[in-house]
Amino acid sequence: MSRPVNRVPPSAEAAPSADAAQEARRWERETRAPYIVSHPERRAPFQTQALRWPIKPLYTPADLEAEGFDYQRDLGFPGEYPYTRGTQPNGHRSSLWTMSQVTGFGRGEDWARRARYMLGQGLQGLILEHDLPTTNGYDSDNPLVEGEVGRAGLAIDSLEDVERALDLPFEKLRYLMSVCNAPQPINLAMIIAALEKKGVDPRRFVLHIVNGILIEYTCVGRYIFPPAHGLRIATDCIEYIIREHPNWAPISIISAQLQPAKANPVQELAFSMAIALAYIDATLARGLTIDTVAPYFHFVVNVDMDFFEGICKLRAYRKLWARLMKERYGAQRPEALRIRMMTSPTTIALTLQQPLNNIGRLAIMATACALGGAGEAMTTPLHDEAHALPAEEAIRVGAALQHIVAHETGVADTIDPLAGSYYVETLTKQIESAAHAELDKILAMGGALRAIETGYFQRALGHEQYERNKDIEEGRRKWVGVNHLVLPGEQRQIEIFRADNRTEEEQVARVRALRARRDAAAVSAALEAVRAAARAGTNLVPPCLAAVKVYATHGELCDALREVFGVHTPDSQLTGV
Amino acid sequence: MAAASARPLRVLLAKLGMDTHTVGITVVAHALRDAGMEVIFTGLKQTPEAVASAAIQEDVDVVGVSSLSAGHTRNLPKLARLLREQGAGEKLLVAGGVIPPEDLPLLQSAGFARIFTMGTDTREIVAYLRDWWAARAANDTPS
């Protein structure tokens, strides 16, 4: 005897559209409406966290019809256009995402020690953050940066510092990401020169340079030169890497920096894409083709606590990129259409109050990243990050969280498991359409560079920052420990990483000693070559490489470029303040 | 009615040193503007000298500094001293951001009337500035 089969009647399988909408209305009228008379809703209105879009009580096939949802056109299959269901044909069933964490502080050897510890904990990727003097283009002994040396990241004054930092077991390292946007050609040159001196084959791992200067102007603030020069410098680095180190990654659009500046998912997607298109157009103007250039673009995307906004944003990201590359640029190669993405739980959801709660938040956000399609890599911030320099225990917990999500929840065991959810598909499509419309608006005003130069991005974010803060102050958004379940009299720990005078003093002594013993004539000739290239519009990386090898310092090289390019000094109009 | 409170309060908001965190200062700027105050922003990466001279040139009533890096123990007292030396000691000095409790006495003795630490409700800042302005106006009124 065969097993009885629950056959679905053919009429339900075909789901005629009039019925779906009609049935949903009937349910609302007959079942839900009478119920909420006696059980009023606990919140009015229900809305998504960042977009503040209304959330319906129920999503049904009628919503997909209203959005014009079409399986093949909107989703397709994993590893196939438009990649909504993921860029990999087998999701995370063949390999998990690369698990990584951010680190960076102190002197070269301090960073290397922490990096070796992290590589020993099962992490394969490292992110190198520089201190503020370095990212803003000053040497450690510049009077402007007193007290900031080695604090928020690694202090780099010369090639010597990079040589100390890159004292690593390269066999365990899959990728190294380096964040140093405004002075990127100098940073890139120092890393290349250090690898050469150590005899490390640059093909054995992937160096990602973030090279994200346009987002610095938009919201982060670590810019030096005026925006048009910033774009040219970034393009020099992209071009150099594509031509000289084709296995490396020359550009990351850190949408994860727009998000803490309170870009909502639509702005985040539209601004990131507009910024990506600005770099692409500049790189194409150097004579490279879209099929060569597009595969190098890499995105880092945060997920916040609104589970569905986060998941749908990741899905919309993949689709929008694929559509833009195909429809706007006529890209042909699948590699050009498949977005390369790293995801991360956001730090702005973490609270100073009741810091252990942050472990829960991180687990939820990491799960959302995995459900949205984690991308090539995931990086988790640490639960004590809101108040202190991360302790080693927090690093261990952060790494474990990703393993828990990957191995214990099952979310990575089937591909794009939330596909087909009426809510998820509706929100994915709404986010994509709204982002596409916002992108068209930005392109109509002349693109990302113009949007920065006129302050459009900055003002839009400033407005969003104010509104989102009001949501919390006025209690529309409940935030545990901040405005909900507040522990009376909780002693909030605010530990700021005190300027370690020894680090700063040593760093200052080192750079001064270096200047005294190096070949001064070679340095000034090398700096002049950098100025000449800056004026001539030729690629800045080769002359920077020559200059760092004779130990021109980071600050000297930035000064040489300041002399040619000038500096960016925006007022309120341009900052959104 | 005193002349002082008849015009809007003028506030200079400033960022000193390498600290580029702007979300807090942006939110405060919007809240103060919404409350009818005139807000001027110095831009990022300013020196205490530049902020003192902007405060005097713009003839502001209040100088508010946002600090989210460790520079506050040096930069803020220096700014207060420069303002006093240049005859602008009557301006109200306030600060906000990530400032550990143990640094508060130092900043208060340097001349900062109030430090708004992270998580302060913007309505509290608005109320504080309004009260100060009203008290200043009352003092200015000839009896």
Element of type H or E holding A423: helix A422-444
At CA B66, angle to CA B65 and CA B68, rounded to 5? 140
Inter-residue contact A48 to A305 (CB < 8 Å): no
pLDDT of residue A576: 75
Q: Is the pLDDT of residue B16 over 80?
A: yes
A450-472 b/e (C-beta count within 10 Å ≥ 16 → b): bbbbebbbbbbbbebbbebbbbb
Q: Are strands B114-117 and B92-97 parallel, antiparallel or unpaired?
A: parallel
A496-526 b/e (C-beta count within 10 Å ≥ 16 → b): beebbeebbebbbebbeebbeeeeeeebeeb
Residue A383 one-letter amino acid: H
Find the residue in B nearest to A491 (Cα). Answer: B101
pLDDT of residue A503: 86
Backbone φ and ψ for A306, nearest 5 degrees, come out as -70, 100
Q: Is B60 exposed, middle or buried (0-12, 13-18, 19+ CB in 10 A)?
A: buried
Q: Which residues contact A563 (CB under 8 A, 6 or more apart)?
A: A531
pLDDT of residue A106: 67
Lowest-confidence region among A27-31, B77-81, B114-118: B114-118
Chain A residues with CB under 8 Å of B126 CB are none
**C-alpha separations of A526 from A241, A540, B139 in Å:** 21, 12, 63
Quote the DSSP letter at residue A74. I
Quote the DSSP letter at residue A218. I
**Subunit contact B22:A570, Cβ cutoff 8 A:** no
3-class DSSP assignment, residue B106:
helix
Backbone φ and ψ for B3, nearest 5 degrees, come out as -60, -35
Quote the DSSP letter at residue B141. S
Q: Chain B closest CA to A570's CA: distance in Å?
A: 6
**Subunit contact B118:A494, Cβ cutoff 8 A:** yes
- Residue B107 is encoded by which pair of tokens? 């900043």
pLDDT of residue A530: 98
Q: What is the ipTM of this complex?
A: 0.89
Inter-residue contact A561 to A224 (CB < 8 Å): yes
Q: Is the pLDDT of residue B58 over 60?
A: yes
Pick the residue of A222, A474, A577 with the most B CBs within 10 A to test the interface with B by mutation.
Answer: A577
Beta-bridge partner residues of B12:
B40, B63
Chain B residues with CB under 8 Å of A143 CB are none
Per-residue pLDDT reduced to its tens digit, B82-101: 999 999 999 999 999 988 88
CB atoms within 10 A of CB A355: 20
A139 contacts chain B (CB < 8 A): no
pLDDT of residue A37: 97
Domains of chain B as residue ranges with CATH:
3-132 (3.40.50.280)
**Subunit contact A469:B122, Cβ cutoff 8 A:** yes
A170-200 b/e (C-beta count within 10 Å ≥ 16 → b): eebbbbbbbbbbbbbbbbbbbbbbbbeeeee
Mean pLDDT by 10 residues, chain A (577 residues): 47 58 94 97 92 97 95 97 96 89 69 83 81 94 88 90 91 86 96 94 90 94 96 98 96 92 96 98 98 96 96 98 98 97 92 90 96 86 68 82 94 96 98 98 98 96 94 92 89 60 90 97 98 98 98 98 94 73
The phi-psi region of residue A137 (left if phi > 0; otherwise alpha if psi is between -120 and 50; otherwise beta) is: left
Can you list the alpha helix ranges (DSSP code H) found in A207-286? 213-215, 227-244, 255-258, 265-284
Rounded CA-CA distance A271/A269 in Å is: 6
Chain A residues with CB under 8 Å of B41 CB are 571-572, 575, 577
Nearest to A406 by CA among A96, A91, A121, A88: A96
Rounded CA-CA distance B11/B56 in Å is: 11
Strand residue runs (E) in A153-306: 175-179, 206-209, 251-254, 297-303
The domain segmentation of chain A, as residue ranges, is: 81-382+390-404+416-473, 501-568
Element of type H or E holding B57: helix B48-57
Element of type H or E holding B72: helix B72-85
Rounded CA-CA distance A372/A97 in Å is: 12
Nearest to B23 among A136, A261, A496 (CB): A261
Find the residue in B nearest to A464 (Cα). Answer: B27
A577 contacts chain B (CB < 8 A): yes
**Subunit contact B69:A151, Cβ cutoff 8 A:** yes
Per-residue pLDDT reduced to its tens digit, A290-348: 999 999 999 999 999 999 999 999 999 999 999 999 999 999 999 999 999 999 999 89
- Please give the model's pTM, rounded to 2 decimal places: 0.90
Q: Are strands B38-41 and B10-15 parallel, antiparallel or unpaired?
A: parallel
Pick the residue of B11, B16, B18 with the most A CBs within 10 A to test the interface with A by mutation.
Answer: B18
Find the residue in B nearest to A475 (Cα). Answer: B121
Residue matched to tokens 């992937």: A206
Chain A residues with CB under 8 Å of B47 CB are 144
Find the residue in A nearest to B71 (Cα). Answer: A147
pLDDT of residue A383: 80
Residue-wise DSSP of A498-518: ---HHHHHHHHHHHHHHHHHS
Element of type H or E holding A127: strand A125-129
Chain B residues with CB under 8 Å of A461 CB are 26
A571 contacts chain B (CB < 8 A): yes
Q: Which CATH superfamily is domain A81-382+390-404+416-473 in?
A: Methylmalonyl-CoA mutase (3.20.20.240)
Rounded CA-CA distance B45/B67 in Å is: 11
**C-alpha separations of B99 from A93, A385, B28, B51 in Å:** 47, 16, 16, 20
Q: What is the CA radius of gyration of chain A?
A: 25
pLDDT of residue A390: 59
Inter-residue contact A485 to A513 (CB < 8 Å): no
